[in-house]
């Protein structure tokens, strides 16, 4: 995974953070059934934050593995947030 792809992931994480803030409020005010989906995504969000911190400290080889994991987490969280947005 090159620097370009990682930069794209960083931008995706920034977008997800914004969605998260918006959706947190909407879920709190909105439908109870979305609460379960939200609660399932929150541990994944914390895992993503931990992996991003680890990338900053990692060697080049382990950073590559972490970047792949980050990409997968970004995709999973994006899909979950999309489902919540569609349901609101």
Q: What is the pLDDT of residues 41-79, one digit of tens each?
A: 999 999 999 988 888 787 777 778 888 888 999 999 999
Mind listing the pLDDT tens digit for each residue in 28-42?
A: 777 777 888 888 999
Q: 41, exposed or middle or buried, with CB in 10 Å at 0-12, 13-18, 19+?
A: buried
Q: Are 73 and 17 in contact, with CB atoms under 8 Å apart?
A: no
């Amino acid at each position: 995974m090159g620097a370009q792809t990682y930069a794209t992931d960083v931008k995706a994480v920034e977008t997800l953070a914004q969605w998260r803030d918006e959706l947190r409020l909407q879920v709190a005010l909105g439908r109870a059934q979305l609460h379960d989906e939200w609660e399932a995504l929150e541990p994944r969000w914390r895992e993503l934050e931990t992996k991003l911190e680890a990338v900053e400290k990692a060697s080049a080889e382990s950073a590559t593995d972490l970047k792949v994991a980050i990409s997968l987490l970004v995709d999973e969280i994006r899909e979950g947030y999309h489902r919540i947005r569609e349901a609101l």
